[in-house]
Homo-oligomer: A and B are copies of this chain.
Amino acid sequence: MNLTKLSKTELTGLCADLEKQYEGLKAHNHKLDMSRGKPSGEQLDLSNDLLTEPFSYRSENGTDSRNYGILEGLPETRKFFGDILGIEPDNIIIGGNASLSLEYDALMRMWVFGSKGSAPWSKLPKVKFICPVPGYDRHFTMLQELGIEMINVDLYEDGPDMDRVEELVKYDPLVKGMFCVPLYSNPTGSCYSEEKVRRLAAMNTAAEDFKIFWDNAYGIHHLYDEGEKLADIFALCREYGTEDRVFYFFSTSKITFAGAGVSLVAASEDMIKEIKGHMFCQTIGYDKVNQLRTLSFFNTHGGIREHMKRHAALLRPKFELVLDRFEKEFADSGILSWSRPKGGYFISVDTLKGCAKETVALCKGVGLTLTGAGAAFPYGKDPNDTNIRIAPSYPDMKELADALDVFCICCRLAAVRKLLEG
């Protein structure tokens, strides 16, 4: 039933009915949370052997991981992740428990020191970043903290609107960078096509020090066996002589423990040298014991790809529950569209124009916390107030079903009220 085609009388009747249903929800005293992309307890349990399983604290070359040193991380850790991501170990530096911190540090280095003799960004009258939207709120927070102007560019299923990106970077030297989540993007699940990755590598930028923050947070986080492939951005950049353009990030936060994983930054030879020069002032080295603990865990548990299949087995039913329910409830409703991701942690929905905030508020009113409406946009401002990020990973199946009951009623109610206004 397409709600947008209903008469005023029909809508009024439906609204009264939905309001009754909404009142009914209150009795459940729900305390449901779908706000953050957190792994569930069951997913975390998959890695519990990390906590106590014996492993050698000596690296293959004899280094005592317990002691100080080895700024760039242990050779076998760099090789392990290099093999997974198709990156040379020499182009990788292993970090602490959060790739977000490595991203922040990379941004701060450009801000304070610049790169290859270019002016530090803090010295410029203004700095602008391209932000594919909807996107990851934490990236925007980081940019906002530095007063960097964020320019929205639409993100499609196969990546950002590259015509627009190319236009933005071509003439304005103050457009300095861009955050990308190239695979199973947060929150849309978009996967950058090879053509778009190529265009990112090839494009002419007025800024010589233009930087792509390539946050491959979901690089191996497939829900199905036939996972999406991501083009090798470094190989493409080498074709165009732009390999200094990319800071590549990855972590095991959503592979082992969300709060106690291992992260990495990868970059060109020159950039790695620069990063290490600054990093030397910042730390004697990151946690190498956790590097060996993590590697040993994968070795004794069938490898990282097998481990990701165990995650997928837990996540897939949740995604399918949401998607099936949306299909059933909203297929021809005219009031909701949604992404159908094959990996990652989120489903992105678009309500009728001007209904996202109201839907989230209605949900909150009956005990379902969603990510704040607008959070997937710079400055928290969704220009159409349509986007809501659904994070189905954390609740169990029962809670998720309850949350969907709530969401579907609230979404309908907000839409019907809006239609009645119009």
Chain A residues close to B by CB (< 8 Å) = 36, 38-39, 41, 44, 47-48, 51-55, 57, 64-70, 96-98, 100-101, 104, 108, 111-112, 122, 138, 141-142, 145-146, 253, 257-260, 278, 280-290, 293
Contact = CB atoms under 8 A, between A and B. Distances in A.
A283 B112 CA distance: 19
Given A100-B283, A260-B287, A278 B44 contact: no
B66 A44 contact: yes
A281 B67 CA distance: 30
A36 B68 contact: yes
A39 B67 contact: yes
A369 B278 CA distance: 25
Given A66-B259, A68-B258, A98-B283, 10 more contacts: A38-B67, A38-B68, A96-B96, A96-B286, A97-B286, A108-B112, A111-B112, A112-B112, A138-B284, A290-B290
Contacts of A278: 145
A55 B96 CA distance: 22
Nearest to A277: B145
The 9 closest A-B pairs by CB, nearest first: A260-B289, A66-B257, A104-B282, A44-B66, A145-B281, A97-B287, A68-B258, A260-B287, A101-B283
22 contacts: A38-B68, A38-B69, A44-B67, A51-B55, A51-B293, A66-B257, A66-B258, A66-B259, A67-B257, A68-B253, A96-B96, A98-B284, A100-B282, A104-B281, A104-B282, A141-B281, A259-B284, A259-B285, A259-B287, A287-B287, A287-B290, A290-B290
Contacts of A67: 38-39, 44, 257-259
Nearest to A144: B281
A51 B287 CA distance: 13
Nearest to A41: B64
Q: Is the interface of A mostly helix, strand, loop or mixed?
A: loop
Contacts of A47: 66
A68 B101 contact: no
A98 to B, nearest CB: 5
A280 B69 CA distance: 27
A399 to B, nearest CB: 16
Contacts of A55: 51
A259 B289 contact: yes
Contacts of A146: 112
Contact of A257 (B51, B258, B260, B289): B289
A97 B66 CA distance: 11
B259 A142 contact: no
A52 B53 CA distance: 6
Nearest to A57: B51
Nearest to A290: B260
A70 B259 CA distance: 10
A402 B178 CA distance: 56
Nearest to A97: B287
A253 B67 CA distance: 9
A97 B286 CA distance: 7
Nearest to A281: B145
Nearest to A260: B289
Contacts of A288: 259-260
Contacts of A39: 67
A122 B124 CA distance: 13
A145 B277 CA distance: 10
Contacts of A52: 52-54
Contacts of A283: 98, 100-101, 104
Nearest to A123: B122
A278 to B, nearest CB: 7
